[in-house]
Amino acid sequence: MRFDDIARTSPSIPREFTNFPMSVSLVDHSAPSHVFNDYLAMRTTRAGTISPNDRKVHVTQTVSTIFQFRAIDWGMENCELHVAIPPVDRPTTLALYRLNATVPLDISTLSFNVRPPRVAKLSNIVLGQDSLDWHRKLSCAMDDVLVFELACSEDEVSGSCDIEWWQAREETAPGECFTTLYEIR
């Protein structure tokens, strides 16, 4: 497409936008072949069956959540993953992993058995009485698929990790929602 031939200002003017996950899916290592679906959240309209943008996130000792993103703009190779979570009643440590995926995952067949392998642990994320706004810069190129898994940390005491919320695109009052933001800067 010859995007490289377009004249650009120098130095470049930083721009940013928010790119929400194209999918949010659950996997369960205690039921490794189970495929979670969002049929309960689907609704029928005149145009057909649609799934809402808000997705359930659930993390327990056995269940983890997989977030899938696509870098959608040319020339904006600096990505930043944001995880914002309101205060929680009891401290919990979650682990965020990067998964080895270069093509979009088929969420209709995604289970623990077929999820991409973990390639790196990005961080332990400690939830507590204060709101959390964790972020990490990543390099990305146009059309890159970036997949992350949020799971209980291996350091968590057995049975103490059970967190659930909705990943929401629409911002609500502080403390009412969880939003995973993927900002391209």
| CATH numbers and ranges of domains, the chain | 13-184 (2.60.120)
Residue 158 DSSP class: T
**Which tops the pLDDT comparison, 113 or 4?**
113
Q: How confident is the model at residue 18 (pLDDT cuts 50, 70, 90)?
A: confident
pLDDT at 95: 94
% of the chain exceeding 90 in pLDDT: 29
Q: With a cut of 60, say whether residue 155 has pLDDT above it.
A: yes
Give the residue-averaged pLDDT of 122-131: 88
* Average per-residue pLDDT for the chain: 77
- CB contact at 8 A, 86 and 176: yes
Instruction: Label residues 64-78 b or e (16+ Cβ within 10 Å = b).
Output: bbbbbbbbeeeebee
Q: How confident is the model at residue 63 (pLDDT cuts 50, 70, 90)?
A: very high
Query: CA angle, 36 as apex, 32 and 38 as ends, to 5°?
Result: 175
Kindly report the number of other CB atoms within 10 A of residue 134's CB atom: 17
The residue among 126, 149, 144, 111 whose CA lies nearest residue 19 is 144
pLDDT at 152: 93
The residue among 40, 70, 45, 44 whose CA lies nearest residue 55 is 40
**Which tops the pLDDT comparison, 26 or 169?**
26
Q: With a cut of 70, say whether residue 173 has pLDDT above it.
A: no
Give the residue-averaged pLDDT of 157-163: 79
pLDDT at 184: 32
pLDDT at 26: 93
